[in-house]
Amino acid sequence: MKIGILTGGGDCPGLNAVVRGVTKSALRRGWDVIGFRDGYRGLVEKDFVRLGDRDVSGIIIRGGTILGTSNTANPFAYTLAPLGSADKPKDLSKLAFRNFKDLGLDALVAIGGDGTLTMAQQLYKKGMPVIGVPKTIDNDLSATDVTFGFDSALNVATEAVDRVHTTAESHNRVMIVETMGRYAGWIALRAGIAGGGDVILLPEIPYRAEDIVKAVLDRKRAGKKFSIIVAAEGARPEKGEMTVTKVVKGSPDPLRLGGVSYKIAEILDGKTGLESRVVVLGHVQRGGEPTPFDRWLATGFGVKAAELLAKKQFGRMVSFRNFGFTGVSIAAAVGKLRRVSPGAQEVRAALAVGTSFGNSRIAK
């Protein structure tokens, strides 16, 4: 066989480990492997590199992706110059198919999140043999218990929450740490629990301003003159909208969220007698070396992807379920986002130790 690999969407720790896992498994089967540069751009523009054993040696510990990535290179609505533009997206999927055939490829491995895998599913429905590998720090893909990249991002976020504790306590402040996650609150939830956050704000549990103020004042009356708030970037008030910083035309998800932590600071200003400070983690959560768990998980994903290729089980995505690797349909993974349930056991556990979710109604 001859296979192609691409990494699409936002970068995250563990991408290189998957590329390594797929490539080494494929080479040991006697296959040829090429890697497309910058996600689907490489497939559309026929920009690729041949991958040998030396090319992937030692990359398991590296963050980012040696292939490059793009979160705007959609073959079905291409906006990148010189072939397309943001004002006039073009459907270049036929060109992608032509390049696939011209290169003599038997299958494509698409490593990415919801947007990347949705495009992979579209290509598969049109006849391209595709295998998907779930990647996102947001942990919001259905049909898998966890995605690689999430654990690394969670470690960064938890360390940040740990570090602001000393500043908050020393200065009697409210420290607000804003995490990524888009429409799912997994990073904020678990970093908030692991870091001992006093208030956790999630997209799945719209907050009430008065309940956030009450949580901080209750701590103050109890002699705790500081508070830690962990806010997901997608957190929103009841009967309100998420905070959008900008709109990116041509992106599968054009809304760029962020800045809700400053709104929370405004809510608290003058109502608690405590100074509020904001820490927006942003893309620092995507960077750096993958954690041991993500290296292990990504390697397992890569090896399983090669197994699915060998069995010609196309249209499938590698999934991690019940602490084992399996394959599920890509359609099942991208059909619905995996989000935090307000009634989940870990939410109830946080409530049991006194954590507020900015909405007193969920505690009843």
**pLDDT digits over 191-201, tens only?**
999 999 999 99
Residue 267 and residue 224 share a domain: yes
The span from the CA of 147 to the CA of 328, in Å, is: 14
Residue 267 and residue 202 share a domain: yes
Cβ count within 10 A of residue 197:
26
CB 56 within 8 A of CB 20: yes
Residue 158 and residue 144 share a domain: no
47-96 residue pLDDT tens: 999 999 999 999 999 999 999 999 889 999 999 999 988 888 999 999 99
Residue 346 and residue 228 share a domain: yes
Residue 201 and residue 350 share a domain: yes
CATH number of the domain to which 299 belongs: 3.40.50.450
Q: How far is CA 4 from CA 278, 283, 285, 292, in A?
A: 43, 28, 28, 26
Residue 211 and residue 66 share a domain: no
Residue 8 and residue 139 share a domain: yes
160 backbone dihedrals φ, ψ, rounded to 5°:
-65, -45
Q: What is the rounded average pLDDT for all residues in the chain?
A: 92
User: Does residue 318 sit in helix, strand or coil?
Assistant: strand
Residue 215 and residue 128 share a domain: no
CATH number of the domain to which 271 belongs: 3.40.50.460
CA angle, 260 then 136 then 100, to 5°:
130
Q: What is the mean pLDDT of residues 246-260?
A: 72
pTM for the whole thing?
0.92
Q: What is the mean pLDDT of residues 282-298?
A: 93
Cβ count within 10 A of residue 311:
10
Cβ count within 10 A of residue 283:
10
Residue 200 and residue 135 share a domain: no
| Predicted local distance difference test score (pLDDT) of residue 209 | 92
* Domain count of the fold of the chain: 2
What residue numbers bound the domain in which 36 lies?
A: 2-148+288-334
Residue 293 and residue 157 share a domain: no
The span from the CA of 277 to the CA of 266, in Å, is: 10
Q: Which residues pair with 255 in a beta bridge?
A: 247
Selecting among 138, 140, 198, 294, the annotated active-site residue is 138
317-351 residue pLDDT tens: 999 999 999 999 999 888 788 999 999 999 999 99
Q: What is the mean pLDDT of residues 96-123?
A: 96
Residue 187 has pLDDT above 60, yes or no: yes
Told to judge if 218 belongs to the known catalytic residues of this protein, a careful annotator would answer: no
Residue 309 and residue 257 share a domain: no
Residue 349 and residue 259 share a domain: yes
| Predicted local distance difference test score (pLDDT) of residue 302 | 97
